[in-house]
Every structure is written in C-alpha cells, then in structure tokens.
Amino acid sequence: MKCTQPLTGTARKLFEFSQDMPVIDTHEHLPIKEEYYVNMPTEFGNLFNPYCAYDLYSSGMDFPRDQWAAFVCISDDWDQFKRHWDRIKYSSYARALRISMQKYFGVDDFTRENYLDVVLKGVRDNQRPGIYQKILHEDCHIEWSIPCSGALPDKDDPLLKGNISSPTFFCTSPQGFKQLEGDMNCEPIRSLDTFLEVSRAWMVKQKEAGAIEFKSKAFSTAKVNRDDALLLFQRVIAGESLNETEAAPLMSIVREEVAKVCAEIDIPLALHTGVWGDYRETDVEDVIGLCSRNPDTRLDIYHLGIPNARKAIQIVKNFQNTYLNLCWSHVVASEMVTNTLKEAFDMVPMNKIFAFGADYVYAIEKVYGHLYIARENVSIALADRVDRNHLDLDEAKGIMKMWFYDNPKDFYRI
C-alpha cells in the first residue's frame, strides 16, 4: 500500500511486535454511547471531519472553517472534491484515512466510481452495534479508550474510561453557569469565589462517577490576572458569552483552582497545547508556570506541543509532574513526531511518554489508520537506537510497550 512507510529490518521487527501489543488510547472525542454513534446520520463529510476537512479548507475548498456543521456538508460534487482532495491526500491526516479505507473498504484512494460508496455505503454498513468492540479492541488491540466530552461513560463500560472537560470551560457563558448549577443543584452563582467553590465540589462528584482525568488547556501566562478575571466574570453574569481568547484571564484563574483540586483528589489534568488556529495562544511554554505553581498536580501535556515540540520535551525533562502525550500528533505531523521521539530519547525519562491517542470525532475506522502510523513512527525511532547500538531489540520492545501501554495505564490508574 503506497501510503504506508518502508521500514528497515529492525523497524520491521518492532512494527510486527507492536501488532499484538495492548494499547491505551489516551484521547478521543468519539461519542461515549455506542448507540449514539450507531444512530448518527451518515453524511459524506463525516469521513473527513474534522482534520481532513481543515486541510481541504486550507487548500482552497469553499466552506466556512468556523462552522463545524459545514464539515458534514462537504460538496458531493466529484469535480470540486477531486481537485481539493488531490491537494491534501499526501498529508498525515489523509494518510491515516487512506490506511483505514484500505483496511475497511478495500481502496486507498477515491475515484469517481467509488467515492460516494465508500462513505454512504461502507461507513453506513459499519454503523451497527458492536463496532466499538470490533474496531477498537479486536482490530486495534486497544484495552481502554479515553473519550473526552461533557459527560462520562458508564462506570461499567468494558472499553471506555472518562476524561471530562473541567470547569475551565464552564466560565465563559451563562449556559456554562447553568450547567454547573444544574449538576450541583445549587443557587445561581453570583461571585467568582462561589463559582470556584461549586467547581471544586463538582470535580469531586465527577471523580466519584468514574472520571479518571479532567481536561483544560494552555493559555498565555501574560493573561493570568485576577482583576481582569473579575471584570470578565461580571460580563458573563450579566448574560454575555465570551470566546476563549478574550476569556483567557478568567479561564486561567479557574484552571489554577482546577489544578489544585486535581492534586487533592489525585487525578491528572490534561492540557491541550498548540496546533489549532493561533497556536501562540496555547503555547506549551505556558505549562511552565502552571506546573511550577502546582508541583503535586500530574499534568498530561497533549499533542507534543506542536509546533513547539522541542519546548515540550524540555518541559517534561525539567519538571517531575509533567508527561508527554503524543495524542493527535502522529496525524498532525508524522515526520515531526518520529524525529522528536529520537530527540526525546536523549532527554525524557522513558516512563513519561504516552505514544498514542487518536483524537477523532467521527468515523471510528480512522483510529486504525492513526494507530498504524503511530506504530510505524515509534518503530522507526526505536530502531534508530537499536541500529546505533544504544539498545538491543528486547530493550526496544520493552520501551515500546511502556509508551503504548504501561505508562498511560499507570498514569491514569486503570
């Protein structure tokens, strides 16, 4: 298949070893209820949502980037689609999709004859009860997958563990306040201190309900200011909704409390860093201040800090409470991940790397393609050390298992 990588002899041995190895999928946005996924309408754009859709937009395809609903309405006009698909089909995003298409639909590219059938027949035929077990567990050997949303999977779910969005994201709108008030059955929140107190109680309640992690994000440290946060809080109380850029001072104050509670109840805090939009606003360097102020909080640094991967490595090397999570990163920039792992090997303790999280929203088939690339990348990086006599093959296999399974299993206490 032309969208997989040629591997050296050593890398091939490691890649083959990885095929039956258990995996912890550290981050997804798939529905927490399989029945919801099975009953979702099958739209042409679902197969591309969200990542290939952003590349299609970047290539010049005409649909509004800021309207997520448009991603499931990508034109089914072949001539328009073909022109833009040819511009993006060599990217890491598309390569994961094409590997998955080969696995599940028997093709690794779109043609005029197959492109609607792949989605409107192939994906639809897969949308049936048991698809999570089939693709995640049987095909990918994923022992646990950790979706993040505003709710938690059932505590007895055999495959899913819950990462839940933290109160960091509740403070930007009246709707967020109402959600918190409803969940906690409390009086209307009218002060920032009350918001933080209710948030603390809400987090304890979510851990009791099965949460294994809370999620927040990086912010520019220049925006951490309580006086500014109080002014923003009053705007929300007055009924205004804020976007995350302008709400950053308020969200930063809330995130600080979230980090403290995470330490107290012994649960990690995940931090989105980099990648999207103006990535300077989620620069991984922000983590330095947070982890310095909260040394007892285990921080799960997402996405390798892309594009600032070397900064992420330096942070995880220097601070005991930080861990390097490669979720999403293999399909953001496959070559960058491989090269970064080679550098991380020199600097980061082996127990602090989590090799995989697919981070998909739709089309669960793509998890397979993403994991295939992740296994390739890790095999190539570790084979380089074996071939340079820094490791023997058994040591490399042990490290690979640590990165894909042992480290996240220990970190999330699962």
Per-residue model confidence (pLDDT) at position 75: 56
Domain boundaries in the chain? 41-126, 131-167+204-221+258-411
In angstroms, the CA 223 to CA 289 distance is 12
- Cis omega before residue 50 (within 30°)? yes
Pairing mode, strands 142-149 and 211-217: unpaired
pLDDT of residue 223: 63
What's the pLDDT score for residue 59? Answer: 87
CA distance 229 to 280: 20
pLDDT, the chain, mean:
92
What CATH fold (topology level) applies to the domain 131-167+204-221+258-411? TIM Barrel (3.20.20)
**Rounded to whole angstroms, how far apart are CA atoms 362 and 366?**
8
- Which residue shows structure tokens 């310095």? 292
How high is the pLDDT of residue 131?
A: 96
pTM of this prediction?
0.94
**Predicted confidence (pLDDT) per residue in 259-315, tens digit:** 999 999 999 999 999 998 888 888 999 999 999 999 999 999 999 999 999 999 999
pLDDT of residue 165: 96
Residue ranges for the chain with pLDDT beneath 70:
1, 63-76, 221-224
Tell me what pLDDT residue 316 has: 98
Spell out a b/e string for 208-237, using b for 16 or more CB atoms within 10 Å of the CB, else e.
Answer: eebbbbbbbbbbbeebbeeeebeebbeebb
